[in-house]
Amino acid sequence: MARSRTRVITVIGGYDEWYPRSRVLVTGLRQNGVRVIEMRTRPKRHTLSRWVRLLGQYARAGERCDAILVPEFCHKDVLLGAAIGAFQGTTVVFDPLVSKYETKVVDRADAGLYSTGAYTSRAIDRLSLSLPELVLADTETHAAHFRSFAVPGQRVRVVPVGYDDSLFRPAPPPADGPFRVLFYGSYVPLHGAVTIVRAAAVLCGATNMQFEMIGGGQTFDAAKCAASDLCADNITFTPRVAPEELPLRIARAHVCLGIFGTSAKVRRVVPNKVYQCMGVGRPVVTADTPAMREYFTGDDNVVLVPSGNADALAEALARLADDAPGRDEMGRRALRAVQKRFVPRVLAGELLAAIEGVGAGG
């Protein structure tokens, strides 16, 4: 790969420094020799207050950069990034990860379909995807969705989510104890947590199989109520753990779970947890979607089941529980697959190539 001409990138917005997507890209950029200037404030701070703080950081830095990156979920901060980019004559990159409308209206139901909030969210999506010179998507399927919001000529490039290989390292499978199945996440609807609970209930007769579900969020209460109603006493619900503790929890599991929701978004994403669990060397069972099949092959390095189908999930887990050699081999193939393509240095290299493609008129 030719040496990158992009030497300084400013990352600006109200983002979480521990969120996997931006953490992977920032880590990878530094591994590629890029100086990264982070101008960050709390995500939930009011927009105007965020901008005042971010502008103060920009003024104190006093350094021109080759590109400005506005990270995931920072749709409202694109306007500020675009203003700075116009002032500097610098390429602006937005990495939305998801549509604001889809998150607020479809997933969380914080606003009705025909409400002012829904209209505003769509407008923010359209504006934030139209202003930058470059928009990132995590899959080709998601890129097509973002293009439907964008003005003609908008450049959208795919850079997969990947995982931090300095944190999620290979570990041998557990040698003893019950067969352990792990899910972790924020319980957003696309995770399909209730489907997992229903699958666990189907497998209650398998006395050596235990489920651990880590985290909390929107559908947590529904999942816990379903576990109680179905007498799924093979599930342990665990509060959210620190990011640095997740690799240990994955290493204790025999199999890890991805997402099983039924919304349109499920078809477009490959979630962080899929890459992370593969990076530890664990087989992953997740929904069979176009996005997953962009990168992985079912029954080779991942097990794919129909979205929202608890019986199919239970059947896949029972099959893995009964085939330790095949399960361990799938974990090894999964590890090789992610180590080759989805680590920070490689993904940041793709980002740099995309940025320089904009500069070259590509």
Domain extent listing, the chain = 8-162+343-359, 179-341
Taking 3-state DSSP, the helix, strand and coil percentages for the chain, each rounded to the nearest 5, stand at 45, 15, 35
Which range has the worst mean pLDDT, 115-119, 147-151, 224-228, 307-311? 147-151
Q: What secondary structure does DSSP assign to 113-164, as a single string?
A: TTSHHHHHHHHHHHHHHHSSSEEEESSHHHHHHHHTTSPTT--EEE------
The CATH architecture that domain 8-162+343-359 belongs to is 3-Layer(aba) Sandwich (3.40)
The confidence score (pLDDT) of residue 151 equals 54
Query: Topology of 179-341 in CATH?
Result: Rossmann fold (3.40.50)
222-264 pLDDT per residue, tens? 999 999 999 999 999 999 999 999 999 999 999 999 999 998 9
Work out the pLDDT band at 1, boundaries 50, 70, 90: very low
For residue 255, list its beta bridge partners: 181
- Could you give the CA distance from residue 222 to residue 201 in angstroms, rounded to a whole number? 15
The pLDDT tens digits for 187-197 are 999 999 999 99
Answer yes or no: is pLDDT of 5 > 80.
no
Predicted confidence band of residue 359 (pLDDT cuts 50, 70, 90): low
Name which residue leads in pLDDT, 82 or 2. Answer: 82
Q: Which tens digits make up the pLDDT trace of 263-313?
A: 899 999 999 999 999 999 999 999 999 999 999 987 789 999 999 999 999
